[in-house]
Each structure stands twice: as C-alpha cells, then as structure tokens.
Amino acid sequence: MTVQCKPIPALYTVYVLRSTVRHASLYIGSTPNPPRRLKQHNGLVPGGAARTSRSSLRPWEMVALVSGFPSMVAALKFEWALTNPHLSVHIPSASRLTVATQTKANGRPQRPPRSLASVVANLHLLLRVPSFARWPLRVHFFRRDVFAAWEKWCAAASERLRPSLAVVTDFEGGSEGLAGAVVGGEEGRERGEGAPCWGIHALPLDYEPIKDYVAKGQEIFEFERQGACVVCREEMASGDGLQALCTNQGCDGVGHLSCWSRHFLKGAEADSILPVQGQCPKCGGEMEWGNMMKELTLRTRGQKEVEKLLKRKRRRATKKTANA
C-alpha cells in the first residue's frame, strides 16, 4: 500500500454549531472550510448532516471552533473526543467530566445530554490532556455568551491551560472583528461575494497568510543558501536532513529540524515533546512551530500547492524541432 504524504492543511477546524432558534440544540463537527460547511448545515448547498437538517432548528450558527490541527485525522480525533467525552480514551477516567448513566439497546453507553456548559467544560479538558495539549491549537469564539461561559469555566477550573494557548474572539460589530468589511477576490468567490469579514468569514481558508514566508523558503532552498545552522552552527548542505526556516520577515535563519526542536523545548514543561513556539537565535523574533511546519511540508510535499500559491507554472520540457 502506498502512503500518500501531504502538506499540513492550510486550515482544519473542529467547530461547535448552535441553533439560532433553540440555543439548547448543539452540534459538533470538523471541516477545512467553515463558511461552506455552515451553508451545508443550513441547507443552502448540498451536504450538511442529518442531525442538522430539521427546518425547525435552522438557521444554525458557528459559535466556536478550534484550529491548528496538523492533519485531518488529528482534527477528526479531537472531534470524536469532544462529541463523546464519556467514551474517549484520550480522557483519563479520573478526569472525566461527562459520564454515561444509561445504555443503548445494544448495551453500549448512551451519550449524556449535551449543553453549552458541558461542551465548554470538555473543550477545556481536552485542551489540557496530553494527547492534545502538545499541539499548537488555537481556540476561537464568535458569540459573546459562549465566550462568557468559557471564561466562567476557566475561572472556576482547578487546572489551567498552557500559557501559550491562543484564545481569539471575533464578535459581530465588536472591536475584535471587522464588521462591515467584505471578502473579495478568490477567497470572496469561495465564501460568497459580499460575505462579512468577521467570525468564520475572516478565517484564512488557504496558505495566503504565509505566502511571503513560502516564497522566502523557495528562494533560499532553490539556490542552496542555507549556510550554517542557526542553532548548532554546523554548515548545512542541500538534502542534509530536514531543514526549517525562521518565520520572521527579513530573517534568513535556517537550521536542522532537530536543532530547532531542542532549542524551542528548552525551558518547556518536562513532558513536552512537541514545540509550540520560541525565539529565533539569529533575529530574536518570536516564532510559531505550526507555521514552520506548514512551510516545511509545503516545500517537501506540496509542490502543487506552492505553484498555485506563488502562481508559478510548471516547467515543461520543450521539444526541439529540425526547423532552424
């Protein structure tokens, strides 16, 4: 069997959906394109899910989501755990907040009723467990009451989330969002021209936010300008293992992937095995591990995506003719 290697996706999210008609009705799903998925749930385009197809509960709204997953499979694992916190093996039995009290006809535990408070509590829990705390995830809230429930739980929880976990708010009409702006161009066509640029509509659906970074990497590695590793100071040659590049504008610092990892993990918690963020030894700027890995996997696995992003045409061999 051939294993198909792909670059880290530009965006993959696990989202929380709420009925605008009945706020007690919630749904959890995953998608690389939240605006399109919301249209599917609301019956505006084909797709959706049977559980959200009842017209009496439409329209639905996305009130929160988690982004930063390294793959689709990673997002699906998180989605299943958040949907089934009473069964998930990622949650230690002693830490489980949701416990099944009834069984189905087949004898399996029945999922307890879901509420906004329980979803927020289990989201907080999953972001702390070892399986997911190692990932460079980001939490987004798009409704004030949902964020208020999150803050209430965070204040009451005995355990805290890692300090580097980003929590982003973007409310309609608030200073956090860009209410009134619209998305145009290629992204506008994907979301629908005139789509409001706040909440899920402001999320980047492609690699455009790191376009300049990707272009810098292409220029450095195509012309073999790696130089010495910024961490261990050893000279690096083309193809000398995996090499990653500083994310900061104007810095061309390159290092061995293993060296970057050790450098970022200095001072981290003892059980940390995956870096989240750190400083570049060359320019001193802050860097996010997730963006470094996106560029690295695009460069090594995503030639088609790079060509599309940088609007490069593939080189084709030209046929020589006998006519001079």
What lies within 8 Å, CB to CB, of 47 at 6+ separation is 37, 40
CA 27 to chain centre: 19
Q: Measured between alpha carbons, how far is 140 from 205 in angstroms, rounded to an integer?
A: 15
* Secondary structure (3-state) at 296: helix
Q: Measured between alpha carbons, how far is 321 from 136 in angstroms, rounded to an integer?
A: 54
Establish whether 154 is an annotated binding residue: no
Structure-block tokens of residue 229: 């590793």
Q: Which helix (H) or strand (E) holds 265?
A: helix 257-265
Dihedral Cα 268, 272, 277, 283, nearest 10 deg = 60
CB atoms within 10 A of CB 206: 18
Q: Measured between alpha carbons, how far is 296 from 298 in angstroms, rounded to an integer?
A: 5
Q: Kindly provide the b/e burial profile for residues 254-292, where b requires at least 16 CB atoms within 10 angstroms of the residue's own CB.
A: bbbeebbbebbbeebeeeeebbbbbebbebeeebbbbbb
Left if phi > 0, otherwise alpha if psi is -120 to 50, otherwise beta: which for 233?
A: left
Establish whether 23 is an annotated binding residue: no
Q: Measured between alpha carbons, how far is 301 from 295 in angstroms, rounded to an integer?
A: 10
Closest among 281, 248, 249, 247 to 262, alpha carbons compared: 281
Establish whether 223 is an annotated binding residue: no
Q: Is 97 in contact with 90 (CB distance < 8 Å)?
A: no
Q: Measured between alpha carbons, how far is 56 from 70 in angstroms, rounded to an integer?
A: 36
Establish whether 69 is an annotated binding residue: no
> Residues within the annotated binding site for Zn(2+)?
229, 232, 246, 251, 256, 259, 280, 283
> Residues within the annotated binding site?
171, 173, 229, 232, 246, 251, 256, 259, 280, 283
> Residues within the annotated binding site for Ca(2+)?
171, 173
